Structure 1
Amino acid sequence: MIPKQILKRRDMLSCLLCMDPPCSNACPAMDPGRALRSVWFDNEDAAALRLPEENVCRDCSAPCERECVRPGQVPVRSLMSTMIEKVRPQAEVALPETESPLACDICGIPLENPFFLSSSVVASTYDMCARAFEAGWAGACFKTICSFEIHEASPRFSAITGDNGSIIGFKNIEQLSDHSVAENMEIFRRLKKNYPTKFILASIMGQNEAEWEELARLCEENGADAVELNFSCPNMQEDGLGSDIGQIPELVEQFTRAAKRGTKIPVLAKLTPNVAEMSSAAVAALRGGADGISAINTIKSIIGVNPYTLVSAPAVKGKSAVGGYSGNAVKPIALRFISEIGQNPAMKGKHLSGMGGIETWKDALEFILMGAGSIQVTTAVMQYGYRIIDDLKDGLNYYLSQMGIRSVKYLIGAGLDSISATTDGLNRETILFPQFHPDICVGCGRCVVSCSDGGHQAIRFDNRKPKLDGSRCVGCHLCILVCPTGAAAPSKKRIPKPQKNN
């Protein structure tokens, strides 16, 4: 049985995940900054196994905490002690000796792992891609290449943040590559020469059939391993580009066929989520000859309307615009589209590249289980840097070892059978009650408030402890979701629903 996660992000909300962390520089025995970063990215088991077996923190004067950029606010010593004394002993398997289980492919072309930079600013220059490759990313989908001039606005980013300032949802009004086609082709040649084993996925956008065909041809000639057709950018100034195409299956098919005429390397169609369903466009792309699908691009959005200026963010000289929304907040929407495409019979034998809100290896695994054979990331890299690849690879590789799975490829689509497009087939005859753990409960009463005002009035407060009224509880689990300490959890047994009297 996989052990319950002991440490969570809330245990280290004050940590800033520093570059060159002072806590690590101050510690002679370990790398606490790296370990804290692993906790943030849900990789505590593998991180704990890299720490000393003996708790060297117990009698330490904690120079790590004194040198922290927030002295006294991050409990580094106690977090490291917890990892050594509680997390490390419960680790089920040793650290894997090789990353070979992560090896996979795109349309038969080998990948060392499934993780890519997605088409955006994070993959827009030679230097950026080179640093990402050195860090361990398997490839990059280069920022969309086009033959028309790009003039960006300033500022062009805005965000919704969480309690500690981390980005939950991210909005951009950025467009395509502002380098010329010739400049981008030179970048491809240099990348392929210096990093021959890395995968270059060339994102392109044309204005007509001739441009789609020509750009695809040029990308192949200059070293790209595959082409991604951007039918989904929500930020284009002119009509007939980006998501305007992705919303019209006939255009998706037409321009996919045009790109395929220009190249023999694999072609993926990147589709827009700004539709009611994605299958129509996906099937159209396959009719046009696409070898696979990429999804999702950003979602059209408005965020952050200033109550004093009355302008949405980002504000550009008193104006703003609908822009693309990304970040962890869009993951449920992305997974919905990925599962839809993954369950489509037309996708059999085709590659699906998934993206949309991926930050941790667990996020990536969810996309793989819904049918994605490769994973693309942007917003998390913009926030945390290329270094997140350490925990993406480390965490997924440890999970595979923990589960006795020899290859990540065995997991592609493994969760699709559990998904239904409607709730019609769900069991409605039993109830799974919550249970409350008094040793964890702090008596805040949040579960009582939520159940009273947003549920079924099934919890009473007795001496600052929650007590369940089984005659009222319907098993909705709202109390579990709002509990800030994890004291509320599902019980282990389902019971039949009481029969209603006629």
Structure 2
Amino acid sequence: MAWGRTSGKILSWYEDILNAPGKGPSLPILAKMTPNIGNMELPALAANEGGADGIAAINTIKSLTGIQLQTFSAPPSVHGKSAVSGYSGKAIKPIALRFINDLACHPTLSGIPLSGMGGVETWQDGLEFILLGCSNVQVTTSVMQYGYRIIEDLTSGLQAFMAEQGFSHLFELVGAARSNIIHADELDRQSIVYPIIDRNLCLGCGRCYVSCLDAGHQALSFGKDRVVHLNAKKCKGCHLCLLVCPVGAIHPGKRVTKPMPKE
């Protein structure tokens, strides 16, 4: 395991590793990328030059799952000792999607097959990888949790989506979202989306108010009547309120042009 994590960062090893199978079965060889690196394009380029038939990403993320407060050891422990190891599952999906996007957008890697993995639990998760450029998706942790039957859920859900949306072949969806991922500097900074509060769903719990007051822009007011009001002049459109609402009573409105500040 430790050797695998190390080899993923040493670019000069890729050609030797990829040529190791020698005259073995004529199956495609995918180079699996470690996410424990800042720039995944570098090892992917080395793997491509070394003869890999495709790139698989991402591998597990080096981590500690916690510290047991009674023993001061990290679980799982062996005689009270533990080690940094690989973390997988749904929590790593946003990180995996970022790396897949980086690989798919690299001009030299254009055309090399990508196999996506990292946090896939539903057909929607799998489709997100495909939309960013993966021609197939791998699942491991979810099979450990739910068994192989989850594959049937993934395929049937994706098939239903394709039929509903009028897609006849999976490859029509590969990379379809890539053009919508741009550099942060290219985003429209002159527009804003204000949150809309559904009074019929709102519980009056005040969570949105507290979050906006202590960690946002103090754009919400909350009186004794337990009714939340938005001050649009202070709102920056961060949607923190939407994220913390426990019942989904807050949703994004339409994108509008920001009001011009008064001189």
Q: TM-score, normalised by structure 1?
A: 0.51
Runs of 5+ in structure 1 lacking a partner? Answer: 1-234
Specify which of 155, 166, 174 is matched with residue 412 of structure 1: 174
Q: For structure 2, which runs of at least 5 residues remain unmatched after alignment?
A: none
Partner amino acid for 2:67? V
Is 1:393 matched up with 2:155? yes
Q: Which residue of 2 aligns with 1:311?
A: 73
Q: What is residue 103 of structure 2 aligned with on the other side? A: 341
Amino acid at match of 1:461: F
How far is the alpha carbon of 1:444 from its aligned partner? 1.1
- Counterpart in the other structure of 2:115: 353
Number of aligned positions between the proteins: 262
Shift of residue 382 of structure 1?
1.0
Question: How do 1:51-62 and structure 2 match up within 5 A?
Answer: none
Query: What is the match of residue 425 of structure 1?
Result: 186
Mark the structure with the bigger radius of gyration: 1
CA positional deviation for 1:465: 2.1
Tell me, in whole angstroms, the C-alpha distance in 2 between the residues paired with 1:362 and 1:451. 30
Does residue 203 of structure 2 align to residue 445 of structure 1?
A: no
**Distance in 2 of aligned mates of 1:242 and 1:429:** 47
Q: Does 1:248 align with 2:10?
A: yes
Counterpart check, 1:272 vs 2:24: no
Q: How far does the alpha carbon of each residue in 1:226-276 deviate from its partner, in whole angstroms, 9 at most, with x for none?
A: xxxxxxxxx33xxxx212111011111332244466554321111111110
Q: Is the 8 A contact 1:273 1:297 kept in 2?
A: yes
CA distances 1:381-404 after superposition (whole Å, capped 9, x unpaired): 111111212221121111111111
Amino acid in structure 2 at the alignment position of 1:427: D
In 2, the alpha carbon distance for the partners of 1:337 and 1:363 equals: 15
Structure 1 pair 444/260, CA: closer, same or farther in 2 (3 Å)?
A: farther
Match of 2:44 among 282, 286, 289: 282
1:495, distance to aligned residue in structure 2 (A): 2.3
Structure 1 residues 263 and 285 mapped into 2: Cα distance closer, same or farther (>3 Å)? farther
Name the SS for the 1:432 alignment partner.
Answer: strand
Aligned counterpart, 1:377: 139
The letter for the 2-side match of 1:353 is: S
Code of the residue aligned with 1:452 in structure 2: it is L
Alignment of 1:92-491 (within 5 A): 235-236=1-2, 241-259=3-21, 262=24, 264-420=26-182, 422-462=183-223, 463-491=225-253
Please give the alpha-carbon distance, in whole angstroms, between the structure 2 residues aligned to 1:278 and 1:245.
13
Residue in 1 aligned with 2:259? Answer: 498
Deviation at 1:499, TM superposition (A): 2.7
Aligned counterparts of 1:415 and 1:359: Cα–Cα separation in 2: 20
1:437-474 CA distance string (max 9 Å, x none): 11111111111111111111111124222111111111
Q: In 2, Cα distance between the equivalents of 1:250 and 1:498?
A: 54
Secondary structure at 1:433 match in 2: strand
TM-score normalised according to structure 2 size: 0.95
Identity of aligned residues (%): 50
Q: Is the 8 A contact 1:260 1:289 kept in 2?
A: no
Alpha-carbon distance, 1:347 to partner: 2.6
1:260–1:267 CA contact under 8 A, matched in 2: no
Which amino acid in structure 1 is aligned with residue 177 of structure 2?
Answer: G
RMSD between aligned residues: 1.5
Instruction: Tell me the SS of whatever aligns to 2:186.
Output: coil
> How far is 1:412 from its partner?
0.7
CA distance in 2, matches of 1:476, 1:330: 23
User: Aligned partners of 2:18, 2:25: CA distance in 1, in Å?
Assistant: 11
Aligned residue for 1:256, secondary structure, equals helix
Q: Matched residues in 2 for 1:471 and 1:250: separation?
A: 56
Aligned-partner SS, 1:398: helix
